[in-house]
Protein backbone atom coordinates (compact mmCIF):
# COMPACT_ATOMS: atom_id res chain seq x y z
CA UNK A 1 0.00 0.00 0.00
CA UNK A 2 1.60 3.25 -1.10
CA UNK A 3 1.31 6.27 1.10
CA UNK A 4 1.43 9.78 -0.21
CA UNK A 5 3.99 12.25 1.05
CA UNK A 6 2.84 14.95 3.38
CA UNK A 7 4.92 17.98 4.17
CA UNK A 8 5.99 18.70 7.74
CA UNK A 9 3.40 20.47 9.84
CA UNK A 10 3.81 24.21 10.02
CA UNK A 11 0.89 24.94 12.31
CA UNK A 12 1.28 24.05 15.96
CA UNK A 13 -2.42 24.36 16.77
CA UNK A 14 -4.30 22.11 14.34
CA UNK A 15 -7.41 21.47 16.41
CA UNK A 16 -7.60 24.39 18.82
CA UNK A 17 -10.47 23.02 20.91
CA UNK A 18 -8.75 19.68 21.49
CA UNK A 19 -5.31 21.12 22.03
CA UNK A 20 -6.42 23.91 24.37
CA UNK A 21 -8.47 21.41 26.35
CA UNK A 22 -5.44 19.15 26.73
CA UNK A 23 -3.25 22.10 27.68
CA UNK A 24 -5.68 23.32 30.35
CA UNK A 25 -6.12 19.78 31.69
CA UNK A 26 -2.35 19.37 31.99
CA UNK A 27 -1.95 22.75 33.67
CA UNK A 28 -4.83 22.00 36.05
CA UNK A 29 -3.17 18.77 37.16
CA UNK A 30 0.14 20.56 37.63
CA UNK A 31 -1.56 23.32 39.66
CA UNK A 32 -3.24 20.66 41.76
CA UNK A 33 0.03 18.80 42.31
CA UNK A 34 1.93 21.97 43.14
CA UNK A 35 -0.82 23.16 45.49
CA UNK A 36 -0.65 19.92 47.43
CA UNK A 37 3.18 20.03 47.55
CA UNK A 38 3.15 23.75 48.41
CA UNK A 39 0.63 23.25 51.19
CA UNK A 40 2.67 20.34 52.51
CA UNK A 41 5.78 22.49 52.60
CA UNK A 42 4.46 25.89 53.69
CA UNK A 43 1.55 25.15 56.07
CA UNK A 44 3.65 23.36 58.72
CA UNK A 45 6.04 26.32 58.77
CA UNK A 46 3.19 28.84 59.13
CA UNK A 47 1.70 26.75 61.93
CA UNK A 48 5.06 26.63 63.68
CA UNK A 49 5.44 30.39 63.34
CA UNK A 50 1.93 30.94 64.67
CA UNK A 51 2.48 29.04 67.89
CA UNK A 52 3.11 31.24 70.88
CA UNK A 53 5.30 28.66 72.60
CA UNK A 54 7.96 28.75 69.88
CA UNK A 55 11.25 30.31 70.97
CA UNK A 56 12.73 33.08 68.90
CA UNK A 57 15.50 30.75 67.66
CA UNK A 58 12.92 28.21 66.42
CA UNK A 59 10.81 31.01 64.94
CA UNK A 60 13.85 32.45 63.20
CA UNK A 61 14.78 29.01 61.85
CA UNK A 62 11.19 28.43 60.58
CA UNK A 63 11.12 31.92 59.04
CA UNK A 64 14.44 31.36 57.32
CA UNK A 65 13.26 27.99 55.90
CA UNK A 66 10.02 29.65 54.79
CA UNK A 67 11.90 32.45 53.02
CA UNK A 68 14.28 29.94 51.41
CA UNK A 69 11.36 27.84 50.12
CA UNK A 70 9.50 30.92 48.96
CA UNK A 71 12.57 32.11 47.04
CA UNK A 72 13.30 28.75 45.36
CA UNK A 73 9.87 27.10 45.10
CA UNK A 74 8.04 29.59 42.86
CA UNK A 75 10.63 29.79 40.06
CA UNK A 76 10.54 26.00 39.86
CA UNK A 77 6.73 26.15 39.75
CA UNK A 78 6.78 28.67 36.88
CA UNK A 79 9.40 26.67 34.99
CA UNK A 80 7.36 23.48 35.48
CA UNK A 81 4.20 25.16 34.21
CA UNK A 82 5.98 26.43 31.13
CA UNK A 83 7.63 23.09 30.42
CA UNK A 84 4.42 21.09 30.96
CA UNK A 85 2.51 23.54 28.75
CA UNK A 86 4.99 23.11 25.90
CA UNK A 87 5.02 19.32 26.26
CA UNK A 88 1.22 19.31 26.35
CA UNK A 89 0.99 21.33 23.12
CA UNK A 90 3.54 19.06 21.45
CA UNK A 91 1.76 15.89 22.58
CA UNK A 92 -1.66 17.18 21.60
CA UNK A 93 -0.18 18.17 18.23
CA UNK A 94 0.74 14.52 17.66
CA UNK A 95 -2.88 13.57 18.32
CA UNK A 96 -4.56 16.47 16.53
CA UNK A 97 -2.54 16.02 13.32
CA UNK A 98 -3.63 12.41 12.71
CA UNK A 99 -7.21 13.28 13.71
CA UNK A 100 -7.18 16.11 11.20
CA UNK A 101 -5.97 13.80 8.42
CA UNK A 102 -8.55 11.13 9.32
CA UNK A 103 -11.27 13.82 9.27
CA UNK A 104 -10.16 14.95 5.79
CA UNK A 105 -10.38 11.35 4.55
CA UNK A 106 -13.84 10.89 6.03
CA UNK A 107 -15.04 14.13 4.41
CA UNK A 108 -13.64 12.95 1.06
CA UNK A 109 -15.44 9.60 1.38
CA UNK A 110 -18.64 11.46 2.29
CA UNK A 111 -18.26 13.44 -0.94
CA UNK A 112 -17.74 10.26 -2.98
CA UNK A 113 -13.95 10.47 -3.35
CA UNK A 114 -11.60 7.72 -2.24
CA UNK A 115 -8.34 9.53 -1.38
CA UNK A 116 -4.86 8.08 -1.16
CA UNK A 117 -3.88 6.37 2.10
CA UNK A 118 -2.97 8.53 5.08
CA UNK A 119 0.70 8.72 5.95
CA UNK A 120 2.01 8.94 9.47
CA UNK A 121 4.83 11.06 10.74
CA UNK A 122 7.45 10.04 13.23
CA UNK A 123 6.03 10.46 16.73
CA UNK A 124 2.38 10.58 15.65
CA UNK A 125 -0.21 8.99 17.90
CA UNK A 126 -3.31 7.16 16.62
CA UNK A 127 -1.16 5.03 14.29
CA UNK A 128 -3.48 2.02 14.74
CA UNK A 129 -6.51 4.16 13.84
CA UNK A 130 -4.75 5.47 10.75
CA UNK A 131 -3.88 1.91 9.71
CA UNK A 132 -7.53 0.82 10.07
CA UNK A 133 -8.62 3.87 8.06
CA UNK A 134 -6.10 3.00 5.35
CA UNK A 135 -7.34 -0.62 5.28
CA UNK A 136 -10.92 0.66 4.96
CA UNK A 137 -9.92 2.93 2.08
CA UNK A 138 -8.12 0.10 0.29
CA UNK A 139 -11.08 -2.25 0.73
CA UNK A 140 -13.49 0.42 -0.52
CA UNK A 141 -11.22 1.11 -3.48
CA UNK A 142 -11.19 -2.60 -4.41
CA UNK A 143 -14.95 -2.97 -3.98
CA UNK A 144 -15.76 0.15 -6.00
CA UNK A 145 -13.41 -0.96 -8.79
CA UNK A 146 -15.07 -4.40 -8.90
CA UNK A 147 -18.56 -2.85 -8.93
CA UNK A 148 -17.57 -0.50 -11.76
CA UNK A 149 -16.10 -3.38 -13.80
CA UNK A 150 -19.17 -5.57 -13.20
CA UNK A 151 -21.49 -2.70 -14.14
CA UNK A 152 -19.53 -2.18 -17.38
CA UNK A 153 -19.83 -5.95 -18.14
CA UNK A 154 -23.58 -5.78 -17.48
CA UNK A 155 -23.92 -2.78 -19.77
CA UNK A 156 -21.99 -4.63 -22.51
CA UNK A 157 -24.30 -7.64 -22.13
CA UNK A 158 -27.39 -5.41 -22.41
CA UNK A 159 -25.98 -3.71 -25.52
CA UNK A 160 -25.15 -7.11 -27.06
CA UNK A 161 -28.70 -8.32 -26.36
CA UNK A 162 -30.15 -5.16 -27.90
CA UNK A 163 -28.19 -5.74 -31.11
CA UNK A 164 -29.57 -9.22 -31.72
CA UNK A 165 -33.11 -8.78 -30.41
CA UNK A 166 -34.77 -8.03 -33.76
CA UNK A 167 -33.24 -10.82 -35.86
CA UNK A 168 -31.95 -13.46 -33.43
CA UNK A 169 -33.40 -16.84 -32.67
CA UNK A 170 -35.22 -17.51 -29.42
CA UNK A 171 -32.28 -19.58 -28.14
CA UNK A 172 -29.84 -16.74 -28.83
CA UNK A 173 -32.10 -14.22 -27.06
CA UNK A 174 -32.42 -16.58 -24.06
CA UNK A 175 -28.64 -16.95 -24.02
CA UNK A 176 -28.19 -13.16 -24.02
CA UNK A 177 -30.79 -12.76 -21.27
CA UNK A 178 -29.03 -15.42 -19.17
CA UNK A 179 -25.78 -13.53 -19.66
CA UNK A 180 -27.52 -10.35 -18.45
CA UNK A 181 -28.90 -12.19 -15.39
CA UNK A 182 -25.45 -13.58 -14.60
CA UNK A 183 -23.88 -10.10 -14.78
CA UNK A 184 -26.72 -8.69 -12.64
CA UNK A 185 -26.10 -11.43 -10.05
CA UNK A 186 -22.39 -10.59 -10.02
CA UNK A 187 -23.24 -6.93 -9.49
CA UNK A 188 -25.65 -7.84 -6.67
CA UNK A 189 -22.89 -9.91 -5.03
CA UNK A 190 -20.46 -7.01 -5.21
CA UNK A 191 -23.00 -4.55 -3.80
CA UNK A 192 -24.05 -7.13 -1.19
CA UNK A 193 -20.65 -6.72 0.44
CA UNK A 194 -21.96 -3.50 1.99
CA UNK A 195 -24.46 -3.94 4.82
CA UNK A 196 -26.61 -1.01 5.83
CA UNK A 197 -27.42 -0.90 9.53
CB 23 within 8 A of CB 87: no
**Closest C-alpha among 125, 107, 120, 122 to residue 18:** 125
What is the distance, to the nearest Å, from the Cα of residue 7 to the centroid of all Cα atoms in its chain? 18
pLDDT tens-digit map of 87-99: 888 888 888 888 8
pLDDT at 138 over 70: yes
Residue ranges with strand state E in the chain: none
**Closest C-alpha among 143, 142, 153 to residue 185:** 153
CB 147 within 8 A of CB 190: yes
**Model pTM greater than 0.75?**
no
Domain boundaries, the chain: 1-125, 135-197
SS3 of residue 54 by DSSP: coil
**Closest C-alpha among 121, 124, 84, 89 to residue 19:** 89
Percent share of the chain, pLDDT over 90: 8
Amino acid sequence: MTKFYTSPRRTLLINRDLQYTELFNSLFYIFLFLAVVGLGLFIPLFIKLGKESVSSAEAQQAASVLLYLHKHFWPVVLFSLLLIGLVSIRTSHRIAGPLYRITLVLKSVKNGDLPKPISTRKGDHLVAEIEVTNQMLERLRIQVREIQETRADLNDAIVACGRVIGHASTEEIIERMNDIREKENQLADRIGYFKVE
